[in-house]
Amino acid sequence: SPISRCFFSFFVAFNFQTCSSCAPLPFLGAMANDTLADGEITVSEGNTSSGSPPEPSKPLCVSCGPSTALEEEAMLALKEAAPSVTSISISEMLPRTSDLLFMNLTTLEGQTYCIELCQKGYRIASARQDCMNGDFRQLDLHIRYFESIYQLLDTLSPSHRDKFASSLAEKLSNLPKDNE
C-alpha cells in the first residue's frame, strides 16, 4: 500500500533496498536468499580489475534486478572502469535507492574513494570507502559532479589516463591501414 511504501522508504538507508517498480524489501541475510529467483541480477563486492563483468553476490533489487536508468548506469560503469582501476564495486553498506547509490573505488595508485551516483552524475563522496562524509578541507573535490565515470577517473587517476591513452593507441594501430 502507499502508506507502507512511504513508511518503509523512511528506513531505506538502514535496512532496505528498493527499485522503481517494487516496494522496498528487506535484506536480512538468509531470509533474503530464500526469496531470490534463479538468474537474479547481482553485483560484486570486491575486485573486478580483470575487466570481466562483476561476480554475483548481492542483487540490486530482490524482486527484479536493475530496472532504473541509474542502476543500469552503475552496472555499465563497473564494467567500463574495471580495466582502469584496482577495484570497483557497489557499496554493500551505504543506502541504495532507485535515485541514489554509492560505489567503492580504488585507483591504480592505491587511493580509495566512495563515489555517489545520482541523477546529477558521479560525485566523490569521500576519500574512504563505504563513507558518505567528505573532507571539508577539500570541499571543491566533494561538490563537483562528473558526467561519466571516465571524467571522474581522469580527475582522480593519472595512471588511468596513461592506461586509457595506451589502450586507445594500441587499438588505433591495430585498425586496417588504408593503402591509398
In this structure, are residues 120 and 145 in contact, taking their beta carbons and an 8 Å threshold? yes
What was the pLDDT predicted at 100?
Answer: 94
In this structure, are residues 105 and 115 in contact, taking their beta carbons and an 8 Å threshold? yes
CA 46 to chain centre: 12
What was the pLDDT predicted at 133?
Answer: 84
DSSP state of 33: H
Q: Which residues neighbour 92 within 8 Å (Cβ) at sequence distance 6 or greater? A: 45, 58, 130
- Strand pairing report for 87-90 and 145-146: unpaired
pTM score: 0.60
What was the pLDDT predicted at 104?
Answer: 96
Secondary structure tally for the chain: helices H, strands E: 7, 9
> Does domain 7-23+41-168 match CATH 1.20.1090.10?
no
What was the pLDDT predicted at 65?
Answer: 55
What was the pLDDT predicted at 86?
Answer: 94
Q: Average pLDDT for consecutive 10-residue bins of the chain (180 residues)?
A: 35 37 32 30 37 40 63 92 92 91 95 95 94 80 92 92 87 80
- Per domain, the residue ranges of the chain are 7-23+41-168
What was the pLDDT predicted at 138?
Answer: 79
* Spatial distance between the Cα atoms of 28 and 11, rounded to a whole number of angstroms: 14
Q: Take residue 26 and report the three cell numbers written for it.
A: 528487506
